[in-house]
Structure 1
Amino acid sequence: MDSPANPTCAITGKPLSPDEAVPCRGLRPSLLRFIQKRFPAVTRESLVAADALPDLKAAYVEESLADEIGEITHLERAVIRSLEEHEVISEPPEDAAALASRTLGERLADHLASFGGSWTFILTFGAFLALWIFLNTAIWRSHPPDPYPYILLNLLLSCIAALQAPVIMMSQRRQESRDRNRAEQDYRINLKAELEIRHLHEKLDHLLYHHSQRLLEIQTIQTDLLSQLLDAHRLHDRIPVPDIKP
């Protein structure tokens, strides 16, 4: 064990200042076992450098995730890196600047898709069909431009459907991309929160264990002191007090 006057890191072997030294007894048991598996010379009484712990913690989290979910993707690595560097992985929602940066075709596709899926479009188009049929049936009965079975109207409807379908697909593809990015963002946030909560539970369990051990030691010391006081009291009662005659 390193002497307090000249401590060295059990991992790198470099000398440590008192501010840089971290005792291994204060680490979580699971993390300490992981470090001991990589560096067998490390014990509970060893000291490690504080700047060496982030890389070891990241490797420990990556190994734990690999054991649980199998292959580690770029999403999990991004979460591990944010844990190591204490970064915030939440992103603000799409703002007005991002919406304004869309191209003319993207804006047109979004507006047409939004209008085509609304009650305004349904009611307006229904009114147009009713008016077209009424004009060609009741008003222009003698020389209607589109008599029954309304071939011109069918051609117009077919053209609208042929143009509307790709526009809606373009808008849906962009919406799909936004939904996928949002799902990945939610997954990263949930994974980081789960890892943070798990580490917090391990730290609490570790602190509670050491606290209970310390309370048990204090209780043992108090019991010994009470026993010594009782023995001293019994010994004092057994010693006869001599009568002092004037």
Structure 2
Amino acid sequence: MTSDGTSRPLTNWHTSHAERLTGGQRAADRLRNGMGSWAFIAAFVVLMLAWAVVNLTAVAWDPYPYILLNLFLSMLAGLQGAILLIAAKRQDAIAAALAQHDYETNLAAKKGIEELMAINRLQLELLRELRHPADDAR
């Protein structure tokens, strides 16, 4: 409660931030989370092994040394680099917004503590007056 009797609204920064994300920001987060998972690594290894096995045994559309596969991997690496940069940029923005939110929370807490300290000082003065009313009269 504030000094005027109203209470400050409680907000969850993460929820309100997630609601303001654009479609591109959500896609970047999903891609980053997907490419940084063990499921992606496992699927990637399986795909590479399947590519090699099929090219060695069946239809050799990309014979060893797998020039086409190297091209695809290079393109994937380029895209992953860009996606990781986008994700890092978003993380920096989130960290900056969280720091600002923490600062605002600290200012509100400081104001509340100062109000409580003022009330506490007033109460101590009143208690002193109640204990020693004759001292004040002299």
Q: What is the TM-score with the length of structure 1 in the denominator?
A: 0.45
Per-residue deviation, 1:121: 0.9
Per-residue deviation, 1:90: 5.2
Note the alpha carbon deviations across 1:171-218, whole angstroms, 9 max, x for none: 332333233212211221122213321331232133213311331125
Answering whether residue 71 of structure 2 is matched by residue 155 of structure 1, we say yes
Give the distance between the partners of 1:95 and 1:211, measured in 2 at CA.
47
Per-residue deviation, 1:219: 8.4
Give the distance between the partners of 1:188 and 1:83, measured in 2 at CA.
18
Structure number with greater CO (CA < 8 Å, separation at least 6) is 2
Q: How big is the alpha-carbon RMSD for the aligned residues of Structure 1 and Structure 2?
A: 3.3
Unaligned runs of 5+ in 1: 1-81, 222-246
Aligned equivalent of 2:53 = 134
Give the number of the structure whose residues are more often helix, by fraction.
2
- Count of residue correspondences: 133
Among 58, 61, 64, the residue aligned to 1:145: 61
Give the distance between the partners of 2:106 and 2:25, measured in 1 at CA.
31
Amino acid at match of 2:20: A
Aligned equivalent of 1:191 = 107
Give the distance between the partners of 1:191 and 1:204, measured in 2 at CA.
20
Note the alpha carbon deviations across 1:16-67, whole angstroms, 9 max, x for none: xxxxxxxxxxxxxxxxxxxxxxxxxxxxxxxxxxxxxxxxxxxxxxxxxxxx
Aligned equivalent of 1:106 = 25
Answering whether residue 131 of structure 2 is matched by residue 209 of structure 1, we say no
Is contact 1:89-1:189 (8 Å) kept? no
Structure with the greater alpha carbon radius of gyration: 1
Give the distance between the partners of 1:89 and 1:185, measured in 2 at CA.
14
Amino acid at match of 2:100: E
Is contact 2:3-2:115 (8 Å) kept? no
Give the distance between the partners of 1:96 and 1:159, measured in 2 at CA.
30
Among 117, 125, 135, the residue aligned to 2:44: 125
Give the distance between the partners of 1:202 and 1:83, measured in 2 at CA.
11
Give the distance between the partners of 2:72 and 2:25, measured in 1 at CA.
24
Unaligned runs of 5+ in 2: none
Amino acid at match of 1:176: D
Is contact 1:83-1:192 (8 Å) kept? no
Give the distance between the partners of 2:3 and 2:133, measured in 1 at CA.
36
Q: What is the TM-score with the length of structure 2 in the denominator?
A: 0.73
Change (3 A) 1:91 1:179: farther
Change (3 A) 1:107 1:219: closer
